Amino acid sequence: LALSFAAAMEERYDPKQIEPRWQRVWANERTWEAGEVDDGRPTSYVLEMLPYPSGEPHIGHLKNYAVGDAVAHFHRRTGHRVLHPMGYDAFGLPAENHAIKTGQHPRDSTAESIVQFQKAFRDWGISIDWTREFATSDPTYYRWTQWIFLQLFERGLAYRHEAAVKWCPNDQTVLANEQVIDGRCERCGWEVEARQLEQWQFRITDYADRLLDDLDTIQWPEHVKTMQRNWIGRSEGAEVVFRCEELGTDYPVFTTRPDTLFGATFFVMAPEHPDIERLAAGTGHEDEVRRYVNHALNESVQERGDADKPKTGVALGRTVTNPVNGEQIPMYVADYVLMEYGTGAIMAVPGHDERDHAFAKVYDLPIREVISGGEVPVEEAPYTGDGPLVNSHPDFDGMANRKAISAIVDWLDRDGKGHRSVNYRLRDWLLSRQRYWGCPIPVVHCDRCGIVPVPEDQLPVLLPEIEDYQPKGRSPLDAAEDWVRVDCPSCGGEARRETDTMDTFVDSSWYFLRYCDAMNNQAAWDPAVLARWMPVDQYIGGVEHAILHLLYARFFVKALHDLGHIEAEEPFQRLFTQGMITRDGAKMSKSKGNVVSPGPIIDRYGADTARAYILFIGPPDHDADWSDKGVEGVHRFLGRLWRLSTETAATTPDPPLPAELSAEDLELMRKAHWAIDKVTNDMSGRFAFNTAIAAIMELTNAVSRVREAGDPSPAALRFALGTASSLLFPFAPHTAADAYEKLTGARVWEEPWPAADPRFLERDTYELVCQVNGKVRDRVEAPSGAVKDELEALCMAAPNVQAHVDGHDVLKVIVVPEKLVNVVVR
RNA sequence: GCCCGGGUGGCGGAACUGGUGUACGCGGUCGGCUUAAACCCGACUGUCCCUCGUGGGCAUGUGGGUUCGAAUCCCACCCCGGGCACCA
């Protein structure tokens, strides 16, 4: 009994035995370290977005790193020296909010979580170069975040500026534009308010054009590029000057439609416009205007931004001159005009603009048609399409409006009343946060010297220890009095440290640079080392970062390039965005109780099953629904391949392939080479892991079938199984390494990626599809390379083709060699 | 409203540039192994019809079109998902 039990154990596929064994080999031998020395191999930098360490890793992490690891392994085995590092985006609000609740230092809760992530990555068998690991909250890292900040500061790319900013009343901090989703804080969902505050900004808008244009140089999913284009929102148009004669002030407006200038019947300014009070003064409208402005400024960002709400506004009691025709048009203040875009004032053309039309309807203002082509009169609905100009000017009437745009701008330009202009939706990146757990901004405020950067040799400015993490609308760092009080680095006098910290997106905007030279304590990196790896060849992460992180990182790389610190102008040459894993069609969440945790799955089936299943479930860029039964199917497959390999290795000799292949051997060899070809194609370029794994399943099934039905030679059997293991390695590395070693004695990761032998891909004959009028009627065996006439004859001779052709006239015959023949009859 | 994706068996999905629709997996049915169950292994599995075959009709969201041939291309519409949304 003991013996048979042992024998049974021998045959069992046991990931609990297999996986730790190989993990130990890789750890002991430091297999996945990229090394420092250039050894002549082409390099490849494969990177997954670094995790935010909070609690335990979830199934989305597993997918992200399973995809990245498959790519990293494939690149290694196709001859590349691969950099595949790992780190942690460790500063951030969740750890701080946890600290507010529990008093546990964010550093400690983050460290606990990092341990969980490290364990998970090892349990999952992800091939990470651990020598480059760091957390962005390590002083040895954020020292250089501060250095980069100062680099940008010195070039004027980081600046302090007072403006209306987005404020989250729950998190008690300002937010970047990108962090406001539908008027709500992207972190906590509270309605965001507008506040007038002086804050730190990065001048990302200086890079708007390059961020836009260089999208053409990178291989990213088109929808991500589109999102970035829309976010940057470049609009070409003109700035046109309207003059208020009574006050003698000029008000430029930005318009994308100079062709409609003759249709401007009123003029609107944003409630925040600095001249509002001055304009209303002495008109009798002062009180009404003041009331309206106060009301508008107190609206929530969401209320204000709602395009469907009825238009409101009040007259200022002044007029401006329309520069194209000298007309005096009334001025209004209305909250549908935004101070942050253009000049904070617009010309209103109700005949050809939805918003102006709605406003004109409410306040009964004249509506004039200046572009013809609308189906209904412009009084009823604005016409926003193209057409010839009317009611404008003898020089322009009848001209196609597209043409008139430049004609009118040129004409205005000659008289100094306007000029071409470009506007962007993109705003500068507001980076300061009134929160504790972030990178301190390394500047000092001195009454005499103003803002003084902390000298480089005093970096890092360490985050001080504090007692109370509770946000109070000012940075909690304010409370660290001893830390705040400092001598001015410039004059030596009394000064105070900046107490705001940086947005965590600053930390993650350059981490991929640090990995290249992570242990450097003399500099953020050595440019020569960086040049070996950058840009990242393949970046992998969630599409939720399409704008935020992916735009900021591009900006950082461009700015650092301009400062002469790096060669690359783009951080990520290729981007892959993976889809979400859902359960029962819904996003996993604790409140829904539909969370699938990697831990129990791996405990039950092993990491290989979990990884391979996630890749097999469907195209990795799509969302996919988790199925417990599906996991079992993949587990069965891995077990089958492992058992077949183990048994074959134990029970058959290992002779060379016989010179004369039997039909069975040939079938196995063909299937193996077909699988090599298929998997290689699926891996290079496309990320078709699901069909790649399906091909390996087919190969394994073929082995089972042939072994069951016939008597293949051991060599063919071993080749087919070895090939299956070799191809499986990127998806299920432990099982594949184990099976491969048993079959060949070699380590699969040290083997080059298999190459398909064209002799086994070609076939002597193929199944020729015979169609009559486009419908498949028969199939016949045809010799490869047969010419048209032979194929036509073969098809015509097929019995079921005969049956359908009989009694009809053959009109023509379409022959597609190596595929089909279609007989067209009547 | 605008801009992207996407609708294929009972389910997840496959079909590279128009050329065998439904690979692979799940589920289901039947069978083998077993005292039994689990595991494992094998066969079948879009749908309807009949004269039961090497048979025929119908099937890729809906309706048209192009083509010898359409899941794939074109037009219109419906549904689902995502992004943007008073940006002048």
Mean of pLDDT over chain A: 91
Does A586 have pLDDT greater than 80? no
Tell me, in Å, how far CA of A779 is from C1' of B55? 15
More confident residue, A204 or A300: A204
What is the DSSP-derived secondary structure letter of residue A250?
A: E
The 10s digit of each residue's pLDDT in A126-175 is 999 999 999 999 999 999 999 999 999 999 999 998 888 888 888 888 88
Burial zone of A519 (CB within 10 Å; 0-12 exposed, 13-18 middle, 19+ buried): exposed
pLDDT of residue A660: 83
Residue A601: beta bridge partners?
Answer: none
pLDDT of residue A9: 40
Tell me, in Å, how far CA of A18 is from C1' of B36? 32
C-alpha atoms less than 13 angstroms from C-alpha of A355 in its C-beta half-sphere: 17
pLDDT of residue A806: 82
Does A809 have pLDDT greater than 90? no
Tell me, in Å, how far CA of A819 is from C1' of B24? 23
pLDDT of residue A113: 96
Q: Which of A166, A147, A167, A155 is nearest to A441 (CA)?
A: A147
Does A300 have pLDDT greater than 50? yes
Torsion of CA A612, A614, A615, A621, to 10 degrees: -170
The 10s digit of each residue's pLDDT in A738-796 is 999 999 999 999 999 999 998 888 878 888 888 888 888 888 888 888 888 888 888 88
Tell me, in Å, how far CA of A667 is from C1' of B45? 26
C-alpha atoms less than 13 angstroms from C-alpha of A175 in its C-beta half-sphere: 27
User: How many angstroms separate the most distant Cα atoms in chain A?
Assistant: 108
pLDDT of residue A190: 85
What pTM was computed for the model? 0.93
Tell me, in Å, how far CA of A218 is from C1' of B40? 50
In the three-class reduction of DSSP (H, G, I as helix; E, B as strand; rest coil), residue A62 is classed as: helix
Residue A4 — very low, low, confident or very high, per pLDDT cuts 50/70/90? very low
Residue A5 — very low, low, confident or very high, per pLDDT cuts 50/70/90? very low
Torsion of CA A386, A389, A392, A398, to 10 degrees: 170
Tell me, in Å, how far CA of A589 is from C1' of B80? 22
Share of chain A above pLDDT 90, in %: 68
Residue A161: beta bridge partners?
Answer: A199
Residue A170, φ and ψ in degrees, nearest 5: -80, -50
Q: Which of residues 766-805 of A touch strand B (CB under 7 A)?
A: 767, 769, 771, 773-779, 799-800, 803-804
Q: What is the DSSP string of A113-139?
A: HHHHHHHHHHHHT----GGG-EETTSH
- With CA of A814 and C1' of each nucleotide, the nearest comes out as B68
pLDDT of residue A6: 37
Tell me, in Å, how far CA of A311 is from C1' of B86? 9
Task: Say yes or no: Cβ of A362 under 7 A from any atom of strand B.
Answer: no
- With CA of A624 and C1' of each nucleotide, the nearest comes out as B12
C-alpha atoms less than 13 angstroms from C-alpha of A649 in its C-beta half-sphere: 20
Complex ipTM more than 0.90, yes or no:
yes
Cα separation, A692 vs A695, in Å, equals 5
pLDDT of residue A349: 95
Amino acid at A89: D
Does A543 have pLDDT greater than 70? yes
What is the DSSP-derived secondary structure letter of residue A172?
A: T
Tell me, in Å, how far CA of A735 is from C1' of B38? 24
In the three-class reduction of DSSP (H, G, I as helix; E, B as strand; rest coil), residue A578 is classed as: strand
The 10s digit of each residue's pLDDT in A613-648 is 999 999 999 888 888 889 999 999 999 999 999 999
Q: Which residue has the tokens 């080479």?
A: A673
Task: Say yes or no: Cβ of A644 under 7 A from any atom of strand B.
Answer: no
Residue A3 — very low, low, confident or very high, per pLDDT cuts 50/70/90? very low
A79: which 2 tokens?
A: 């001859």
Task: Say yes or no: Cβ of A189 under 7 A from any atom of strand B.
Answer: no
Does A523 have pLDDT greater than 90? yes
A672: which 2 tokens?
A: 């193996």
Cα–Cα distances in Å, from A382 out to A63, A268, A337, A563?
Answer: 49, 18, 18, 49
Task: Say yes or no: Cβ of A344 under 7 A from any atom of strand B.
Answer: yes
Exposure pattern of A259-284 as b/e (b: 16+ CB <10 Å)?
bbbbbbbbbbbbbbbebbeebbeeee
pLDDT of residue A7: 42
What is the DSSP-derived secondary structure letter of residue A174?
A: E
Q: Which residue has the tokens 């250039």?
A: A38
Q: What is the DSSP string of A449-470?
A: TEEEEPPGGG---PPPP-S---
User: Does residue A234 contact residue A460 with C-beta atoms inside 8 Å?
Assistant: no
Residue A241: beta bridge partners?
Answer: A252
Return the number of other C-beta atoms located less than 10 Å from residue A5's C-beta.
Answer: 9
In the three-class reduction of DSSP (H, G, I as helix; E, B as strand; rest coil), residue A369 is classed as: coil
In the three-class reduction of DSSP (H, G, I as helix; E, B as strand; rest coil), residue A538 is classed as: strand
pLDDT of residue A162: 86
What is the DSSP-derived secondary structure letter of residue A371?
A: B
More confident residue, A107 or A176: A107
Q: Which of A146, A131, A53 is nearest to A442 (CA)?
A: A146
Q: Which of A332, A390, A340 is nearest to A356 (CA)?
A: A332
Looking at strand B, which nucleotides approach a protein CB closer than 7 A? 3-5, 11-15, 19-21, 23-27, 39-43, 54-57, 68-70, 81-88
Exposure pattern of A206-233 as b/e (b: 16+ CB <10 Å)?
bbbebbbeebeebebeeebbebbeebbe
Burial zone of A203 (CB within 10 Å; 0-12 exposed, 13-18 middle, 19+ buried): middle
Tell me, in Å, how far CA of A8 is from C1' of B32? 20
Does A45 have pLDDT greater than 80? yes
The sheet carrying A810-816 orders its strands as A775-783, A765-772, A820-825, A810-816
Task: Say yes or no: Cβ of A814 under 7 A from any atom of strand B.
Answer: yes
The 10s digit of each residue's pLDDT in A203-253 is 999 999 999 999 989 999 888 998 899 899 999 999 999 999 999 999 999
